[in-house]
């Protein structure tokens, strides 16, 4: 199979701002990202990936699905030879070019928390400033908070806001950027905060805020997020070391202290993208977030928890650790997920598949969703994979930030209006 020369899919240039460059950044210039149909050739596709030492964006190959594979320039010819006759689609002709387009950050002026924020992606420092500026515009209704600190001492910063009835009502809690490279999740969680605060006087939003306290954390993996901006755009984990290994990072969404020991849902290799850690809850970020959630549950209750990710367009329910175990309220969960997905589709026609995590995407152990479901005992728990389904993947063009936020808000609004 010879790849045709195509323009990178879905790029969007910005009129202002400059691309973020660093002499330390891992270069993806000339890398290709290819969606390869697996069909029933799981062993063959797995062998190709292993033999050529390639990385994938969607976990290990599965029968009847596809595998999104990142191919360095030096391996392109070998990959072409190995996949002759197989069905493949190019996602990125030059991944480095796509990344440079996405890394074109607009200049943010402190004190200007307005809708133009969502025209581009931003540096970590600007994200923190944006939350502070948003809060300062609504000082009597909001507060900038922290759920604890990361490994490197960065606060896990969020924004808390409430209605005219004051604080202490059941909590709505959203996590974004659990995996560092999933930048669209950062922007979407901030979109919710911006939209709700700037429309807090409307009858609809006031009704939500009078009923619930909102706690939104756009970046719960700050060390990994910073590293994705300065060193490696496709970094996923935190920045934790492991004794006896030179590989860095624990996957903080495979590290939660619930169903952590179940096999098959995470890796025990420190070099793997989904490394579970050496013990349950040994990542400082996981420890801080779990403690904060437990304290919040004890003080006011947790009505709804959503962990926002990218990509694949999925609206999922517990559980991840098992493909046979179902949540007690599974029938209601599936109804709510389908209703939220329908509301999201009604905005732009974007389709979101629904179902339990394990059977819908893959087995995932030690996840936040399972922990919050069965340990924190929140009333409702979901995880969402945002845009897209594979044209851009993790490197989603900035032109899709606003529509992603708008359709996701439609899903959230449905849940807030239909939860019991």
Report which of 200, 220, 142, 212 is spatially closest to residue 172, judged by C-alpha positions. 212
What's the chain's length in residues? 420
Q: Is 42 helix (H, G, I), strand (E, B) or coil?
A: helix
Q: Is the dihedral of CA 299, 328, 277, 155 positive or negative?
A: negative
Please tell me the distance from the alpha carbon of residue 187 to that of residue 168, in angstroms, as a whole number: 26
User: Which residues are registered as beta bridge partners of 217?
Assistant: 175
Q: Is the peptide bond before 311 cis (omega within 30 degrees of 0)?
A: yes
Strand partners, 175: 217, 307
The token pair that represents 324 in the structure block: 């046979």
The two tokens of residue 113 are 């928390």
Q: At what angle do helices 183-198 and 401-418 cross, to 10 degrees?
A: 60
Angle of helix 330-348 versus helix 401-418 axis, rounded to 10: 140
Long-range contacts of 272-279 (CB under 8 A, 24+ apart): 273/55, 273/236, 273/237, 274/59, 274/364, 275/237, 275/242, 275/247, 275/249, 275/250, 275/251, 276/250, 276/251, 276/365, 276/366, 277/240, 277/242, 277/250, 277/251, 277/366, 278/242, 278/243
Rounded to 5°, angle at Cα 183 from 366 and 386:
70
DSSP string, 301-359: -EEEEEEEEESS-EEEES-SS-SS---TTHHHHHHHHHHHHHHHHHHH----EEEEHHH
Contact residues for 371 (Cβ-Cβ < 8 A; gap 6+): 256, 257, 258, 290
Catalytic residue list: 385
- Output DSSP code: residue 275: B
């Amino acid at each position: 199979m010879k790849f045709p020369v195509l323009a990178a899919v879905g790029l969007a240039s910005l009129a202002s701002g400059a691309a973020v460059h660093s002499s330390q950044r891992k270069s993806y210039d000339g890398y290709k990202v290819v969606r390869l149909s697996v069909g029933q050739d799981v062993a063959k596709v797995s062998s190709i990936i292993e033999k050529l030492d390639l990385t994938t964006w969607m976990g290990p190959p599965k029968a009847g699905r596809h595998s999104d594979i990142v191919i360095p320039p030096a391996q392109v010819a070998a990959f072409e030879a190995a996949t002759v006759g197989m069905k493949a689609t190019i996602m990125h002709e030059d991944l480095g070019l796509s990344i440079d387009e996405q890394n074109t950050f607009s200049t943010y002026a402190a004190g200007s928390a307005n809708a133009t924020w969502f025209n581009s992606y931003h540096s970590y420092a600007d994200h923190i400033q944006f939350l502070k500026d948003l809060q300062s515009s609504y000082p009597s209704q909001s507060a900038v908070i922290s759920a604890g600190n990361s490994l490197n001492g960065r606060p896990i910063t969020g924004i808390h806001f409430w209605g005219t009835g004051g604080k202490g009502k059941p909590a709505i809690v959203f996590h974004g950027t659990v995996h560092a490279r999933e930048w669209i999740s950062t922007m979407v969680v901030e979109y919710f905060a911006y939209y709700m605060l700037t429309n807090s006087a409307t009858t609809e939003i006031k009704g939500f805020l009078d009923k619930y306290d909102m706690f939104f954390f756009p970046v719960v993996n700050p060390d990994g997020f910073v590293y994705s901006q300065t060193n490696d755009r496709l970094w996923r984990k935190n920045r934790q070391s492991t004794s006896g290994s030179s590989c860095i990072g624990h996957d903080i969404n495979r590290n939660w202290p619930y169903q952590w020991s179940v096999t098959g849902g995470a890796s025990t290799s420190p070099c793997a993208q989904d490394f579970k850690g050496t013990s349950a809850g040994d990542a400082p970020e996981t420890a801080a977030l779990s403690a904060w959630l437990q304290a919040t549950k004890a003080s006011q209750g947790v009505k709804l928890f959503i962990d926002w990710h990218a990509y694949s367009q999925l609206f999922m329910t517990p559980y991840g650790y098992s493909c046979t175990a179902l949540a007690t309220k599974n029938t209601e969960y599936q109804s709510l997920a389908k209703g939220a997905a329908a509301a999201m589709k009604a905005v732009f026609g974007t389709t979101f598949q629904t179902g339990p995590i394990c059977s819908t995407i893959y087995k995932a152990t030690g996840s936040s969703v399972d922990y919050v479901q069965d340990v924190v005992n929140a009333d409702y728990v979901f995880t969402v994979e945002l845009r897209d389904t594979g044209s851009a993947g993790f490197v989603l063009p900035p032109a899709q930030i606003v529509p992603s936020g708008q359709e996701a808000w439609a899903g959230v609004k449905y849940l807030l209006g239909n939860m019991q």
